[in-house]
Amino acid sequence: TIGTSNIKVDKKSGDNGEFLEGVTMHVKNSNMGLGANTIIKAKKGVLTSEDDSNYLQLELYDGYYYEDIHPKDFEERKRLPFAKSSFEKYVINIDLTKLNQAEIDDGNVTSEKMLTVPELKITLDSLQKSYNKDVISYADNVVMRSDNIFRKNNPTTTIATSPKESIAKAEPKKDILSIFNATERKQILEMAKSNVTSTEFSIQSNKLDLENKSKNINNHWLAIHEKFVIAYSCLLMFFIGAPLGAIIRKGGLGLPIVFAVLIFITFHFINTFGRKVAQQDEIPPFLGAWMASILMTPFAIMLTYRATNDIGIMINFDWITDPFKKLFNKITQNNDDNN
């Protein structure tokens, strides 16, 4: 599968599999509903491509070409019209630009962890400029499309000029459509509907591209922060593990291992959660990278304090539970007095 084309080959030969036999090609037009809109079958075919080219040339021999026709009229469409022709040689140029770009994007995603902090900052600057440029370009494209739709539907529209006095005396209309007749209102509403549909389609088609670029930028920010998070996490685990080992003096090897595994799983879960949320641009990359360390730091400080003062691991929560106990006792006493 390449783009909207599906290619099936019965047999391949040659050093690089460039010679084909029994070629069947289905090309789908996304604007014309479901199903294959074009079918090309050939007995033989040859694949050729240059080293630095983004195009793959497919030469087909001795075959036929079948294409569905989608007329605008519903009655004609019910007849399921089609076009069919045969050929001795048919050349198809297949654009591989999107596939190459996808490989480049994947390479960027997997290699940002190998870059140094200065290199990451340079890359981030380029990615951010490219992202901002695309956002502006898409916005301008939407505005231009709206203007083109208006001009297409109103090729002879002119703006009438009036004296300033008449403009000043004109009373504002509560409903702007009321100044047009029924036919003009219908045209305006149809044009607005077409404009909204076209704009919505453009936004949806560009949304995924912008989301992927935003995710790539967030991954680079995460890579910068993780270079410092890893070093800090090592110190954090030391200030958790050492006091914990000093506090837990009984239980042999099993109890410390249980605590260590629980602490590590908690840290890993929070770290993974923060990274995933930051990638989706739900929280800043800084918070996503440092979330686990920030949450575990008070725990490390508490353990270190209790170990140095030989307090033990048991924690007194009376300062939290006492107010609730007093409130519960007061409510119970009031109920007894009423009874």
pLDDT of residue 290: 92
The partner residues of 87 in beta bridges, in order of sequence, read 63
Sign of CA dihedral 142, 143, 144, 145: positive
In a domain, 195, yes or no: yes
Tokens 């075919």 belong to 45
Q: Does residue 151 fall inside a structural domain?
A: yes
Q: Are residues 36 and 85 in the same domain?
A: yes
Q: Are 159 and 167 in contact (CB under 8 A)?
A: no
Residue 44 and residue 12: Cα distance in Å, rounded? 10
Res 272: pLDDT = 92
- Residue 89 · residue 65 · CB < 8 Å: no
What's residue 271's pLDDT?
92
Residue 200 in any domain: the answer is yes
Residue 223, CA atoms < 13 Å, CB-side half-sphere: 22
Residue 99 has a pLDDT of 59
Which of 236, 232, 258 is CA-nearest to residue 304? Answer: 236
The rounded radius of gyration (Å) of the Cα atoms in the chain is 34
3-state secondary structure of 163: coil
Q: Which residues of the chain have pLDDT under 50?
A: 32-36, 102-110, 153, 155-162, 164-168, 317
Measured CA to CA in angstroms, residue 268 lies from 204, 248, 263, 300 at distances of: 35, 23, 9, 16
pLDDT value of position 46? 87
Which segments of the chain are extended strands (E)?
5-13, 19-27, 38-48, 55-68, 82-95
- Whether 104 is in a domain gets the answer no
Question: Is 210 in the same domain as 255?
Answer: no
Q: Do β-strands 55-68 and 5-13 pair in parallel, antiparallel, or remain unpaired?
A: unpaired
Q: In the sheet where 38-48 sits, what is the strand order?
A: 5-13, 19-27, 38-48, 55-68, 82-95
* Residue-range definition of the domain harbouring residue 61: 5-95
Query: Are 202 and 273 members of one domain?
Result: no
- Looking at residue 293, its pLDDT comes to 92
Task: Provide the domain count of the chain.
Answer: 3
Q: Are residues 88 and 149 in the same domain?
A: no
Q: Is residue 122 one of the residues assigned to a domain?
A: yes
Q: Does residue 209 sit in the same domain as residue 283? A: no
In this structure, the answer to whether residues 215 and 233 fall within a common structural domain is no
Please indicate, yes or no, if residue 102 is contained in any of the structural domains: no
Residues 67, 151 within the same domain: no
Same domain, 214 and 232: no
Q: What is the maximum span of the chain, computed from C-alpha positions, in angstroms?
A: 104
Instruction: Please give the pLDDT value at position 106.
Output: 45
Query: Does residue 259 sit in the same domain as residue 301?
Result: yes
pLDDT at 128: 86
Phi, psi of 9 (to 5 degrees): -125, 135
Asked whether residue 261 falls in the same domain as residue 233, the answer is yes
pLDDT for the residue numbered 273: 92
Residue 81 in domain: yes
329 lies in a domain? no
State the burial class of residue 164 (Cβ atoms within 10 Å of its Cβ: 0-12, 13-18, 19+).
exposed
* Residue 112 DSSP one-character state: G
Say whether both 71 and 24 belong to one domain. yes
Same domain membership, residue 123 and residue 204: yes
Nearest Cα to 61, choosing from 19, 107, 12, 2? 19
Question: Rounded to two decimals, what is the model's pTM?
Answer: 0.49
Q: What is the pLDDT of residue 65?
A: 81
